[in-house]
Chain A
C-alpha cells in the first residue's frame, strides 16, 4: 500500500514536469501563431500577448505574395512523383538483389551502402554541372531525377533487409503454377512488402518535402519554386516585415503539420523501422 502511494505520487510529479516541459517546447509555436495575426505595430510592442484584434488579411497578403498555391502544388508534385518512382524502383532492385545474389549484385549493394555516407555538399558542385549538361536544370522532372538518385541507396537498403525476411516458398508455389517472374513480383511479393513501403515513403516524404538546398540549386524559375524556396525568397525580400513573414511561415508549415498529425502512427513506426535497419 505504502509503495503504490509513493509510486503514484512519483508518477504525478513526473507527469507535471513533463507537461510543463511540453509547454516550453510549444512556446515557439505560440509566438508564431499569435503574432501572425497582429498588426505590425501591435507585434512590435507586445509580441508575447494575445492579439487584441485578428488581422486575417495578413494571411491573404502572404498567400498572394508567395504565390502559395503554386508553391504548394510544386512541392506536392515533386514529393508524390519522386516517392512513387523511388519506392517502386528501389523495391524492384532490392528484390532482385536478394533473390539473385550474384557477384555483381553484391558489389552494387556494397556501393549503395557506401554511398549513404557521402554528404550532399560533397557532390553538389559537380552535380550542377552534370545536371545542366543533361538538360535537367530548372525543371521539375530534373529535380525528380535528382531525388531518385539521392534516394536510391537508403531505400534499396531498407527494402533489401525486408525482402530477406519474406519466405521463398510462397514465390516458388506461384512459379510452379506458371506465373512469370514479373507477375510473381507485382502480384505476390509487392503486396507482402507493404509495411516497408510505408516506412520508405514516410522517410522520403519528410526529406523531400522539407529539402531546401537541392531545389535551390536546381530551380531558378520563380514559377517552379517549392515551399522552402518560396519562403527563402520571400524572406530575402521582406526581411523584418514580420506581419507578412509570420503568416507565410504558418502557411509553409501547416501542410506538413497536418500530414504529421494524420499519419502520426505510421511516422513513428517508420522512424523506428528505419532506425533498426539503418
Chain B
C-alpha cells in the first residue's frame, strides 16, 4: 500500500513536475512579484524598494495623461481592428468555400502575411508607406496615397489598422472556412428549395451557424489587438508625440526607458485586470448567441 502511494507520487512528479516548475518560475512568481512591486517605488537598479501604498495607481489615474491616451488609443484600435479583420476574414472564407478554380492558391496567399512576425511586417510596411505609396500616388493620382502616412496621428492609426488587418484576416479566414464547411449541406439545400436568396441564406442560415467560430475569432482578435506591441514598435514607435502609443508599448517605455519599474508594474496590473474582464465578458456575451446546428 505504501509503495503504491509513493510510486503514485513519483509518477506525479515525473509527469507533471517539469511543466509545473517552468510555469511557476516564468509566470507565477513574476506575477506575484509584480503585484507586490506595483505598491513600491522600485526603479529596477538600486536594491532599495520602498512600499508606497496605492500611490502608483493614484498617479497613473490622475497625473498620467499619456497612459490614458494610450488606453484610449488601444480601445479605438481594438474596436476598429477586430470589426474590420473579422469582416474581411469572414467574407474571404465565405467566397473561398465556393467552388472556385483558384481557391487553394488564394487561401495560401491570404494566409501568408500571418506567418511573418509583426516586427518584420512593420518594417516592410514602413517602406510601403513611405516609398511604395508615393509611387502608387504618382501612378494613379489618388489623393489617398499621397497622405503623410504614419506622419500624423490619424494616418498612424489607420496605417497600423491596415497592416493589422492585412496580417490577421487570413488566420481568421482559416477558422471561418472550417466552420462554414461544417454546416450540413442539407440545411442550405433546404433553404434554397424554399426559395431563399443568397443574402437570406447568408444572413439567416450561415451566420447563426458559424457563431461558435465568431466567438473564437473575436476572442483571438481582441487578444491580438489589445496586446499589440510589435507592429506598434516597428511602424510608428508610438509617435508622432505618443499619439499612436498602445498600452503595451506605454508599459514597456515606462519600465525600460524611464526606469520607473514600480510604476510600470502598476500599469501592468491595471492592464491585466482590464484584459481579464474583457475576455470573460466577451466569451459570456458571444456564447449566449450560439445556435445548435
Contacts and interface: CB of A to CB of B under 8 A. Distances in A.
A89 B24 CA distance: 14
A248 B232 CA distance: 20
A256 B99 CA distance: 29
Q: Taking each of A15, A182, A242, which has the highest tally of chain B beta carbons within 10 Å of its own beta carbon?
A: A15
A97 to B, nearest CB: 7
B109 A231 contact: no
Contacts of B131: 31, 35, 43-44, 47, 242
A59 interface: no
Contacts of A84: none
Contacts of B217: 275
Interface residues of B, number: 90
B31 interface: yes
Contacts of B147: none
B73 to A, nearest CB: 15
Interface string B212-254: 0100110110000011011001100000000000011001100
Nearest to B36: A126
Interface SS majority for chain A: helix
Interface string B36-70: 01000000100000000000000000000000000
Interface in A102-160: 105, 108, 111-112, 115, 117-127, 129-130, 134, 145-146, 148-150, 152-153, 156
A45 to B, nearest CB: 10
Interface string A1-37: 0000000000100110111001001111001100100
Contacts of A276: 178, 216
A146 B261 CA distance: 20
A254 B229 CA distance: 23
Interface in A259-274: 259-261, 264, 267-268, 271-272
B109 A25 contact: yes
A178 interface: no
B113 A18 contact: no
Contacts of A19: 102, 106
A25 B37 CA distance: 45
Nearest to B29: A130
Given A129-B33, A145-B26, A182 B14 contact: yes
Nearest to B88: A21
A217 B19 CA distance: 22
A122 B34 contact: yes
Q: Taking each of B16, B18, B230, B256, which has the highest tally of chain A beta carbons within 10 Å of its own beta carbon?
A: B16
Given A105-B16, A212-B118, A117 B275 contact: yes
A130 B118 contact: no
A48 B22 CA distance: 49
Contact of B124 (A28, A112, A232, A260): A28
Contact of B116 (A149, A181, A210): A210
Interface stretch (B152-160, B199-207, B265-273): B265-273
Of all A-B residue pairs in the complex, the 8 with the closest CB atoms, nearest first, are A149-B26, A210-B117, A96-B15, A48-B135, A126-B33, A122-B272, A148-B22, A127-B30
24 contacts: A11-B98, A14-B95, A14-B98, A15-B100, A22-B105, A22-B106, A35-B127, A35-B131, A97-B16, A112-B23, A118-B27, A121-B271, A126-B37, A145-B22, A149-B26, A210-B116, A210-B117, A228-B119, A235-B234, A252-B120, A261-B108, A267-B111, A271-B171, A278-B220
Interface of B: 8, 11-12, 14-16, 18-20, 22-31, 33-34, 37, 44, 92, 95-96, 98-102, 105-113, 115-120, 123-125, 127-128, 131-132, 134-136, 138-139, 166, 171, 174-175, 178, 213, 216-217, 219-220, 226-227, 229-230, 233-234, 247-248, 251-252, 255-256, 261, 264-265, 268-269, 271-272, 275-276, 279
Given A126-B30, A245-B123, 19 more contacts: A15-B102, A31-B131, A95-B15, A100-B11, A105-B16, A112-B23, A119-B275, A121-B251, A121-B268, A122-B31, A123-B31, A124-B252, A125-B37, A130-B33, A145-B25, A182-B14, A213-B230, A275-B178, A276-B216
